[in-house]
Structure 1
């Protein structure tokens, strides 16, 4: 992997406990959509975060970081970025990147796992959609759908793209799908045979989804997620 120092070009809160970061590497970097980087806090402390954009000509890298005062793992990273204005990273990491395929695609994200699916979706949109693509984004609360308007606009522009937000704890104001995101997919697809499925989120969610999708005939070789390297 390549090690590179990055200037912190932007850092702000998108929603409660959710942060947007834009980094400018000091040298050219290369990665596949769907890969992640490691923030180097120390030689023996490297912390993974999904890259939220496809490779850019200007080399900039976007991150979406979930962090709260009780989440020191992420808050320490944000604090260093704020105080120093720069950070060292290693990349690319991860094997669950976008594959070339004629299969229709399902992107499933939980929380800030959306960053992973956004990178993949950006690449597919830039190349032109020639097959059905479904993006399911599950969050606990409606306000955590921080890129909702962006996805609505993309779906309106591309007839091949379907966007389904799923809110676990939807209040009275929420009129969309409720519950768990993988269950929404199970309800909508009689069979998952012949689909490429990309999954990002908590390991527990990824594990439950994998077992559930087996019941729908998913091809294990077409189910991608960095979590599956560990569980």
Structure 2
């Protein structure tokens, strides 16, 4: 992997406890849609964050970081970025990147800021021209955590092959889908045979989804998620 120092071009709170970060590497970097980087806090302390965009002419890296006050793992990273104005990263990492040679219909499933992973993949598919149906399911606890809701609605309105389904766990006034995001997919698809499914979110969510999707006929080599390297 390549190690590079990045200047912090933007660090903005998108919603309560959710941060947008834009980094500018000092030299050009390469990565595939759906890969992640490691923030180097120390040689024995490297913290993974999904890259939320694709490679572009500006050469920037976008991150979406969830950081509550009790989450020192992420808060320490944000504080170093704020204090120093730069950060060292290693990349690319991750095997669950977009399979651009596949023509299967695609389901992207995100939990919370796992949306960053699915956004990178979707952005590349849109740039290439959608050749197959794509369904993006985004599960969050609260409505204000759908920080890219307007962007997703605009993309779905522009591309007839794209379906966007936000799913909330907790809401009294929400008129859309509620419950757990993997269960929404289970309800909508009688079978997952023949689909490429990409998953990002908490390890517990990824593990539950894997077992549930097996019952729907998912082929193991068409289920992608970096969590599966560890669970």
TM-score, length basis structure 2: 0.99
* 2:196 equivalent to 1:192: no
1:20-67 Cα deviation digits (max 9, x unpaired): 000000000000000000000011110000000011122100000000
Cα shift at 1:106:
0.2
Which digits, 9 at most, give the CA deviation of each residue in 1:158-208, with x for residues without a partner?
000000000000222x10000000000000000000000000000000000
TM-score when normalising by structure 1: 0.99
1:97 aligns with 2:97: yes
**Equivalenced residues, count:** 230
The answer to whether residue 176 in structure 2 is matched with residue 145 in structure 1 is: no
Instruction: Classify the secondary structure of the residue corresponding to 2:73.
Output: helix
| Cα distance in 2 for residues equivalent to 1:85 and 1:52 | 20
Write the mapping of 1:97-136 to structure 2, written as runs, cut at 5 A.
97-99=97-99, 100-136=101-137
Distance in 1 (CA, whole Å) between partners of 2:146 and 2:111 is: 10
SS in 2 for 1:207: helix
What is the match of residue 70 of structure 1? Answer: 70
Unaligned runs of 5+ in 1: none
Provide Cα deviations, 1:95-149, integer angstroms capped at 9, x if missing partner: 0000020100000000000000000000000000011000000000111000000
Unmatched runs of 5 consecutive residues or more in structure 2:
none
Q: Indicate the RMSD between aligned Cα atoms, in angstroms.
A: 0.4
Shift of 1:68: 1.1
Partner residue in 1 for 2:55:
55
The SS at the match of 1:68 is coil
Q: Residue 157 of structure 1: CA displacement? A: 0.0
CA distances 1:61-80 after superposition (whole Å, capped 9, x unpaired): 00000001100000000000
Counterpart-to-counterpart distance in 2, 1:65 and 1:54: 17
- Where in structure 2 are the equivalents of 1:192-211 lying within 5 Å? 192-211=192-211
Q: In structure 2, what is the Cα distance between the partners aligned to 1:170 and 1:217?
A: 31
Q: Which 4+ residue blocks in structure 1 deviate beyond 6 angstroms? A: none
Name the structure 1 match of 2:164: 163
